[in-house]
Structure 1
Amino acid sequence: MPSFRFLNLALLALALCGAPAIASAQSFSEPQRREIEKIVRDYLLSHPEVLEEVSAELSKRQAAAETVKHEAAVTRNAQTIFNSPRGVTVGNKDGDVTFVEFFDYNCGYCKRAMTDMFELMKSDSKLKVVLKEFPVLGPGSVEAAQVAVAVRMQDPTGKKYLDFHQKLLNGRGQADKARALAAAKEAGLDMAKLEKDLASPEVRATLEENFKLAEDMGMNGTPSYVIGKQVVIGAVGVDSLREKIGVARCGKATC
């Protein structure tokens, strides 16, 4: 029995690469299917580069579809992504491009991403940065994120939060409640108020909001970003981030 899946894929390969159009596999009789499969197999063995072309085209189409999906999700959630009072805003709060980062305090890549963020803020005075806790790496991460939300609640300027953020991300060992509280104390937070705010419904509401956003945009790890209408997954590096900021600002990598 011939493989109909192989036949359909092979017909697709030929169609995508400019071969004469062939009807769907289901429209042929059994002998015709066997003959066509032999012809297609022989063709692909003689022209294996066709499979590379098909793979490249498939990747291109999948990437385009993912971009459309991400842009729709960003449009749906724009107000919450860019302007929610539950995010921590640093950089130029009136900037022309908003750079949103979802992070986890136990994410090793997020340490490098923090360096990228500071470099971008230093070199781009028009950049608005929004930080969102996204604790996906276990209970310690959740505890650290809960403390971070409480820090934000007593620091509307974001200055102490940013100091806390650096101390905790750069600290050694597993981030958890104890390490987060130590970082908050070192950053000069009011610890009595912090403990009180930790019990506030706002802590849970903030993390639920962030997780809902991440799920809708297909984020499955940290760091992840929203830059303009673009969703970026992973620590892609400062140069790539700068290019995406350029696209958001003027439609091209370099403005």
Structure 2
Amino acid sequence: MKRMILTAMMVLAPLAAAAQDLSEERIKELALQAILENPQIVMEAVAILEEQRLAAEAVVAEQVLNQQRELLENDPNAPYIGAAEPAAVVVEFFDYNCPYCKRAAGNVKALLEGNADVRVVYREWPILGEGSVFAARAALAAREQGLYDEMHWALMGLQGRAEEASVLGLARSVGLDIDRLLIDMDSEAVNDHINTSRGLAQALGFTGTPAFVIGDALVPGAVPLAQLENLVAEVRATP
């Protein structure tokens, strides 16, 4: 930062001294010439502006996290797997057509199997097309028949894209009543869950799936199991 300012001052100081005797158009020409001769000024300025943007977004995300923690971790309209009274909560935003989500699914399952005091809250966030929306609605509607877990893992293990035909095929395979499922897919609860997921993800600054909220950490991407366990351990250790 200091180096950029000093460089800019050295380059632009002569312009400033002569500015009162120059036209606005001439000043612009000289300024452009100075920048062309010292392009590192622009690159450094862009880098600093990007750092400032990221820092500002982090502050906003922290505020949202503090304000929405109860909704994130205890939303009665969000399905969860794991401990009823958890020592740590992992919130996952995902899409059934996201290959990285499927890659992360095994790590999430291993985390649950190895940590009886962890709860994973699922935020269905379908962002990869109509097939994703159909799959998310089907999984959420499966709650009405007590088969969300089975439908969730079946969709995560699906080879190829989740589309209407493949989703309904999986639904039959896990024992869902299809006629009832199709009706429940359009319920207010399903609509509210997806809309809430979208709003939370955008407010937290997530731009893709998967994305995790673990304690105070916002973690985008397919997180390795070791990292998940470390973040959970940090939550456990927080008073």
Change in Cα spacing, 1:239 to 1:55, as seen in structure 2 (3 Å) is farther
Mean alpha-carbon deviation: is it higher for 55-64 or for 125-134? 55-64
Is contact 1:70-1:229 (8 Å) kept?
A: no
Contact 2:86 2:117 in 1 (8 A): yes
Provide TM-score, normalisation by structure 1. 0.73
2:236 maps to 1:249: yes
Aligned to 2:163: 176
Q: CA deviation at 1:234?
A: 1.2
**Residues 1:87 and 2:74 are matched in the alignment:** no
- Kindly indicate whether residue 109 of structure 2 is the aligned counterpart of residue 118 of structure 1: yes
Displacement, 1:244? 2.0
CA RMSD of aligned residues (A): 3.7
Tell me how far apart the structure 1 counterparts of residues 48 and 207 of structure 2 sit (CA, whole Å).
25
1:90, distance to aligned residue in structure 2 (A): 0.6
The answer to whether structure 1 residue 197 and structure 2 residue 184 are counterparts is: yes
Alpha-carbon shift at residue 144 of structure 1 (Å): 0.8
The equivalent position to 2:63 in structure 1, one of 72, 81, 91, is 72
Q: Secondary structure at the match of 1:178?
A: helix
User: CA deviation digits over 1:53-89, x for unaligned, max 9?
Assistant: 9999887766554443222111121222111122111
CA apart distance, 1:134: 0.5
CA distance in 1, matches of 2:18, 2:115: 62
Instruction: Determine if contact 1:168/1:175 at 8 Å carries over to the other structure.
Output: yes
Q: 1:85 is matched by which residue type in structure 2?
A: P
Q: Count residues with an aligned counterpart.
A: 229
Q: Structure 1 residues 119 and 56 mapped into 2: Cα distance closer, same or farther (>3 Å)?
A: farther
Q: 1:162 aligns with which of 149, 156, 160?
A: 149
Q: Match for 1:89: what amino acid?
A: Y
Q: Is this contact kept in 2: 1:105–1:168, CA < 8 A?
A: yes
2: CA distance, partners of 1:28 / 1:246? 62
SS in structure 1 of the partner of residue 228 of structure 2? helix
Identity over aligned pairs, percent: 33
Structure 2: how far apart are the matches of 1:141 and 1:168?
10
Q: How does 1:19-168 map to 2 (within 5 A)?
A: 64-155=55-146, 160-168=147-155
Question: 1:186 and 2:173 equivalent?
Answer: yes
Task: Give the direction of change, closer, same or farther, for the CA distance of 1:69–1:240 in structure 2 (3 Å limit).
Answer: farther
Unaligned runs of 5+ in 1: 1-9, 16-22
Deviations 1:184-218 (A, max 9, x none): 22122233321221232222222111111111111
Q: Secondary structure at the match of 1:99?
A: strand
Runs of 4 or more consecutive aligned structure 1 residues displaced over 6 Å after TM superposition = 25-28, 52-61
Change (3 A) 1:53 1:212: closer
> TM-score, structure 2 length as denominator?
0.77
- Aligned AA for 1:146? R
SS of alignment partner, residue 98 of structure 1: strand
**In 2, Cα distance between equivalents of 1:53 and 1:241:** 35
- Structure 2 counterpart SS, 1:100: strand
